[in-house]
Amino acid sequence: MVEVICDTSFLIHLATRKIKNIDSVNTEIGQIQFVVPSVVLGELERLSKTEEKRQDATTTLEFAQNLKTVEMSGKFADQAIIDHIRNNGGMAATMDKELKNKIKSLNGSIISFSNDKIVLES
């Protein structure tokens, strides 16, 4: 089982959209488990206090209760994820182009969305 570290935007998308291939991800990509860094939960808590993001953030926080939380600290989730991949290797789930490029430069793997389907990027 490979743990996939979710960033905030990926997690919101996962929690609030209908993902077409969610049931077949393990056969398409392999046995994966989405995990949520504690710093991402902190970002979601802050977003849940803003008018425009409250609904999505609250839905995502509820969704995240069913996922494993991993301790990662830092002011910003992106930097915490980059540091984790740099130190431990691994796989991250993000839609952020800049973050994708940094993780790929560290030989990490990326899971993202394409047309509301989960895809493994090379």
Q: Where are the domains of the chain?
A: 2-121
Structure tokens at 9: 């935007």
The verdict on pTM exceeding 0.85 is yes
Q: What is the pLDDT of residues 1-38, one digit of tens each?
A: 899 999 999 999 999 999 998 888 888 788 899 999 99
Architecture of domain 2-121: 3-Layer(aba) Sandwich (3.40)
Residues 6+ apart with CB under 8 A from 69: 35, 36, 37, 38, 41
85-115: pLDDT as tens digits: 999 999 999 999 999 999 999 999 999 999 9
